[in-house]
Structures are given as C-alpha cells and as structure tokens.
Amino acid sequence: GAVVSQHPSRVICKSGTSVKIECRSLDFQATTMFWYRQFPKKSLMLMATSNEGSKATYEQGVEKDKFLINHASLTLSTLTVTSAHPEDSSFYICSARQRGTTDTQYFGPGTRLTVL
Amino acid sequence: GDSVTQMEGPVTLSEEAFLTINCTYTATGYPSLFWYVQYPGEGLQLLLKATKADDKGSNKGFEATYRKETTSFHLEKGSVQVSDSAVYFCALTQYGNKLVFGAGTILRVKS
C-alpha cells in the first residue's frame, strides 16, 4: 500500500517550452501533496505544498508563476514548469500524505527533467 | 528552526559489516522521526519511523531508536549487503508540517 507514481519518469524538452509532471497516489487519498527538487548529490529542497482544492503554498524563493501546481483531486497533483530553461534541469520528486494522517509522506519515483 | 544533522559520507563497508549512520536533530517540540532510503535514479522510500521517545522503528534489518535525551535517531544494521548501497536520509516533521531532511549519507557496500 501507499504507492505514489509520477509521470513521466524522464523528459527532455527545448528551452522555452512548458512541461507538466503528474503525481498520483494509487491506493490512498492524499489531502496534501508536496513537490521537491533535488540537485545532484544533494538533499531534497521543498518547493511547495498543495492541499486538495486550494492554492499551493510555495517556499521562499520559489517562483509560483514558473512552477504551477494544481491539486485538483485527492489522488492527483500536477507540476507545470513554464518556459523552461536549462537551469530548471533537475530531479523533481513528489510526495503525498495520506488523508487522516499528519506525519508520514510517501514519495514518488521522481522525474528527471532535462532542458536543452 | 528545526534541523537535522547526519554524519557525512560516503560510508564504505564490506558485506556483513555492522552499520551505524548517526543522526541528531534540533526541534522545539516532539517531532516524528524518519529514515528514508534513495536508490540510484529513484525517489525516496520510507525505511522506518518513530513517533515518540524510546520508540524503536525497524524494517528489513534496519533499526533506529528515538532518543529524546540525546536528540538522536541513529540508524543501525547488524549485517549489510551490497543491495543496501544507497543514500540514506534522516528527517523529522512536527504538527503535520513539512519534512525537514538531513543532507543524506551515501552508503557503499563492497562484496
């Protein structure tokens, strides 16, 4: 149980295009989902927290107009990187917290974004 | 603010050796503590957790005990395998807020 999937697992795009990454909780309802960014050999950096049906809360320094987050249902959140540039290349990981719990997050397998 | 400090790696061990990865934390309240493992090219997997003082989390031969008096949550395994090679992250959360991660410790196990 408590499986989180991400799609796509890898994406390569040209500079200036937008990319959408999906995060799904497969066997539980997730009232809260989180989006992280991980640089090579580094820890995870929280980008934003999204609650189902409401606007995402972004961490300081994260551009909300560049990283659009939508959490339209209890099992799906999306991250759209708009007008991507090479510096946006990174490993993006989502996590989900199960409805009715307050501590444990379950992580997706990650999405490797490369912007040419 | 809350923080987590892990021992720096990489930690390199021979197969069947004993593993300890140190983790200490700073928090104002009573956090829940976690160990996550990340295999190359993958996301994080929950390894074990403990939610209150003196709790012991265990999974797949790994153990960690929540020590409030020393604010520690050290990860141990009695006999490591090559397949345990990965990055291990210690983390905490309080009141359902965001996870605070340590920097991660690379473990390399040689056969």
Concatenated DSSP letters of A47-65: EEEEETTSPPEEPTT--TT
Query: Which residues of B fall within a CB distance of 8 Å from A103?
Result: 32, 49, 51, 93, 96
Look at A108 and B43 and tell me if their CB atoms are within 8 Å: yes
The DSSP element (H or E) to which B8 belongs, if any, is none
Query: Which residues of B fall within a CB distance of 8 Å from A95?
Result: 44, 99
pLDDT of B81 > 80? The answer is yes
A42, A43, A46: residue with CB nearest B98: A46
The predicted-structure confidence for B25-60, as pLDDT tens digits, reads as follows 999 888 999 999 999 888 899 999 999 999 999 999
The predicted-structure confidence for A71-110, as pLDDT tens digits, reads as follows 888 899 999 999 999 999 999 999 998 877 767 889 999 9
CA angle B62, B66, B70 (to 5 degrees): 120
